Structure 1
Amino acid sequence: MKRRRTFDLVSYLQRLHLLPERLTRKTEAEDLLKQLYDHEKSTGKAPDRLTSRDLHLSPEQLEALQRELEREGLTEPGALRLTEAGRQRALELTRAHRLYELYLAEHSGYAPEDWHRIAHAEEHKLTEREHERIARLLGNPLFDPHGDPIPTSQGTEPTIPHSLSIEELTEGQWYYVEHIEDDEPESFRLLIDAGLTRDSLFRLNRLESARSQIYYEGEALELPTFAFVALTLRPAKEEELKESHSEDTIRLTRLPEGVEATILGLSPSCRGAMRRRLMDLGFVRGSSIRIDMHSPLGNPTAYIVRGAAIALRHDQARYILIQRPHASATE
């Protein structure tokens, strides 16, 4: 789970004397503060008690963190109930974390599995002024790259959409991904490796207890069924399917030799610098594209787009979505 990774990292750095004890305790206390806030928000009340085992802390560590929160006026004396200042600080940390994740997604080359780790380290350092500077840079967004709502500077946040349970999913139905939960690393990695992200559209081909199959960007992909728990899904709207051409879309990596196709756009999983670079190179909707030549080892491949030959690796070309060529065009 995410919290175990966080606390293990902090403890490791502390053992190597790479983090001052006071700074480490403050960071851990604020992590505990966010957990108390999440519990209060989901249940409407403060937890009756916390055990050090549940938090992967020693009893002495937990007691020290609770004293730290009381001393800072973030929890009420002798209780786990947040003060108004505690709720405000928890919201500030949540806002900083989600803004920074979106900043990393849009303005860095870090992989999605690294966003949480880096944002967790930065959330404790960012000032309110830096929050607002990042928010302005990103256009005052409402959601982070996974679809989690970003609290505003006034402390409000958009409502989280209802998530369909696995039992409510129907084979043959197209679904729209509104959120991917990154708290469970294994499920998150499987979904990201498949290219799924917020705003993805896929068809559920087969739903079984152990493994299921989806149709996404022209490919039939097998996934462990447990990974679907990390997805917040709703049925796709007819206009979304029509606009995305999801039923007639394939990835550029499947373009046959000697066939010209039309670019439909870029995958929603293509973000930040990579998305801007591909668009600057001419990989935009409506452009014609064909294979020019393969390298001796088959990767990269050179494509002709807008009169220019551009070489792309497979991991770059998979982001480019094209219209499936008609059978006559491949003969």
Structure 2
Amino acid sequence: MISPFTSLLFAAAIGGVLLLFFWPDSGLFWKWKRGLASTRRILVEDALKHLHDQEYHGYTTTLSSLSGALTINRDEAAKLMARLQSIGLVKTIGDGFELTPDGRKDALRMVRIHRLWEKYLADETGVAAIEWHKRAEKLEHHMTRQEAEALAVTMGNPTYDPHGDPIPTASGKLPPRKGCQLTDLDVDEVARIVHIEDEPAAIYAQLVAAGLNPGMQVRLLEKSPQRLQFIANGEEIVLAPVVAANVTVQRLPKEAETNGSFATLCALGVGEKGEVVAISPNCRGQQRRRIMDLGVIPGTVISMEMTSASGDPIAYNIRGAVIALRKSQADMIQIKRVEEAVEK
């Protein structure tokens, strides 16, 4: 026969377990329930973004495309799409799906928050380019509309993210897609990079490693099924077509090509001078502001004074002051040697 004391201990233990699971707000059951609701909300928001992306690029969203984008199985994709239809965010069109006006409004809100976060991470933090998209994917689901507008104001209401994607306005306006793939250019055509696709991550990493950024001017040198060779801001780059297809460009007239041969500040020898042409788009945030505060702007003539014993940093004369720059910084400053420039 069980003693009263044992029964009391057993009842206390059961009560403790019940409290652990069902204590108001902080109990494990309620945390699990909130987590499940959050997961469902995130799936809905990610689905809306996928539908918008497909629509923006002229593609039809299918269960297969949705399951692939969200890494869920086809049955889960079907249930998710049924839920979106039931709440009036999606409608069926032929063999696929498209956003309703309400769905498009919610999708653009999520796209705006995502691209604002990418812009913030690129310009205001030291986060590596390959991490911007992944981190923004997590942060976007925990920001309210009001917080997004406050973030936009602190950055001066940017209109494009660091990949060249337009940021929807607060009212949901978005300019139409422009340009063509880099692979569509003919040999000797000149164009400007307007967008670099950040997915899949493995291909984006190759584009980052090649130093490509929106705003760069390119000229195609060679084109074959195996490779594309082109000049980007004075440097020759070779990419496989599957990688180059993730770069969107806008054709320019041949006469618009920047003239002259360019180098970076690192190329100067002791006593040599160069005129600043541009600062690489890879130089962002505080680092870019610091370099510009030193007087490094287009038109400034800089001379190389000396190197340190290790070769890094390097001392340069910038507007009468001798300033040490790391090689990694000097390599982001594009110049024309003074033999090709008019010294100022």
TM-score class, shorter: 0.7 to 0.9
Residue in 2 aligned with 1:317?
330
- Report if aligned partners of 1:180, 1:232 keep a CA contact under 8 Å in 2: yes
Give the structure-2-normalised TM-score: 0.77
**Shift of residue 97, structure 1, vs aligned partner:** 0.7
Name the CA shift for 1:279/1:61 in 2 (closer, same or farther; >3 Å).
Answer: same
Residue in 2 aligned with 1:146?
163
Say if 2:265 is the partner of 1:248: no
Residue in 2 aligned with 1:227?
243
1:198-229 CA-to-partner distances (Å, cap 9, x unmatched) read 11112222223223322233332333333220
- Report if aligned partners of 1:261, 1:322 keep a CA contact under 8 Å in 2: yes
Name the CA shift for 1:200/1:165 in 2 (closer, same or farther; >3 Å).
Answer: closer
**Shift of residue 61, structure 1, vs aligned partner:** 4.3
Q: 2 CA distance for matches of 1:223 and 1:43?
A: 26
Bigger drift between 309-318 and 42-51 goes to 42-51
Letter in 1 for 2:250: R
Q: 2 CA distance for matches of 1:110 and 1:148?
A: 19
Q: CA RMSD in A?
A: 3.0
Name the CA shift for 1:205/1:39 in 2 (closer, same or farther; >3 Å).
Answer: closer
Residue in 1 aligned with 2:17?
none
Letter in 1 for 2:170: S
Say if 2:127 is the partner of 1:110: yes
- Report if aligned partners of 2:222, 2:229 keep a CA contact under 8 Å in 1: yes
Q: 2 CA distance for matches of 1:174 and 1:20?
A: 51
Identity of aligned residues (%): 35
Name the CA shift for 1:254/1:236 in 2 (closer, same or farther; >3 Å).
Answer: farther
Say if 2:175 is the partner of 1:161: no
**Shift of residue 68, structure 1, vs aligned partner:** 5.4
Name the CA shift for 1:148/1:87 in 2 (closer, same or farther; >3 Å).
Answer: same
Q: Between Structure 1 and Structure 2, how many residues are aligned?
A: 305
Residue in 2 aligned with 1:298?
311
User: Superposition pairs for residues 53-202 of structure 1, below 5 Å?
Assistant: 55-58=70-73, 61-62=76-77, 65-66=80-81, 69=84, 74-75=89-90, 82-164=99-181, 166=183, 168-202=184-218
Is there any run of 5+ residues in structure 2 with no aligned partner, and where? 1-31
Bigger drift between 252-261 and 66-75 goes to 66-75
Name the CA shift for 1:295/1:225 in 2 (closer, same or farther; >3 Å).
Answer: farther
- Report if aligned partners of 1:263, 1:321 keep a CA contact under 8 Å in 2: yes
Give the structure-1-normalised TM-score: 0.80
**Shift of residue 262, structure 1, vs aligned partner:** 1.7
Residue in 2 aligned with 1:209?
225
Residue in 1 aligned with 2:21?
none
- Report if aligned partners of 1:36, 1:47 keep a CA contact under 8 Å in 2: no
Q: Which has the larger radius of gyration?
A: 2
